[in-house]
Each structure stands twice: as C-alpha cells, then as structure tokens.
Amino acid sequence: MAWCAGLAAVAVSQLLLVTALIVLPQWRAQQSARRGIVTFFVAGDSSIRLWNRPIDSAVMPGLIRRAEQLDSCTRIRLVLSPGVPWGVVHDLVSLLDETALDVELQLPAAARS
C-alpha cells in the first residue's frame, strides 16, 4: 500500500515537471509583451516567430497596426538569429517604416575568433 502512494507521488511530480517544461517557455516568451514589447524572432532560415508561434511576414503589418491601436507606447523588437540574410532584414524593416511605434533591431552576438 505504501508503494502505491509512492508511485502516485512520483507520477504527480512527473506530471508537474512535464507541464512546467511545456508552459515555462511560452510564459517566458510572453514576458516581454507584459512590458509593452512585441518581439518578432527571425531565424536563420528567414522564418518568423511571435510568442513561439510561426507567422508569415505578410501578417506583420496588421499585427503592428493592432498593437498601435491598443497602446501607442508599445515597442516592436526584431531579434535576429545568426545567418539571417540582410535582404530579409531589409524587407522586414521596410514593413516597419510605416509605424509610429518605436522599433528595436537586436543583432546577433558577434562571433569571436
């Protein structure tokens, strides 16, 4: 009978751990939104993610307009991964030219040799 209680405790602790491993990255990704920062992550393959979800660059202007309507103090942050082609960066920045919101461009760390 004691081993059943122990097994149940192990199962519950594993369930809590797995839940935390699933929820924590999403929660951390959304922390910047609570501070008024909409962060777009641009991967080396030019894919864009918003709060751990892939998005198409064509929807960015609509998302930014919506953020402008909700709060004019919102900031837009583009976080670039190493290997993002500068043509892609230029295209994304040109999408952001029309916004009145502050835009930040976070470049990848320089490679050390």
Please tell me the predicted confidence (pLDDT) of residue 49. Answer: 92
- pLDDT for residue 80 is more than 90: yes
Confidence of residue 32 (pLDDT cuts 50, 70, 90): low
Query: Of 106, 110, 108, which Cα lies nearest the Cα of 32?
Result: 106
Mean pLDDT (whole number) for 39-65: 90
- pLDDT for residue 55 is more than 90: yes
Contact 84, 44 (CB under 8 A): yes
Alpha-carbon span 45 to 7, nearest angstrom: 45
Mean pLDDT (whole number) for 50-66: 88
Q: Which residues pair with 70 in a beta bridge?
A: none
Task: Tell me what the pLDDT averaged over the chain comes to.
Answer: 85
- pLDDT for residue 70 is more than 70: yes
More confident of the two residues 25 and 53: 53
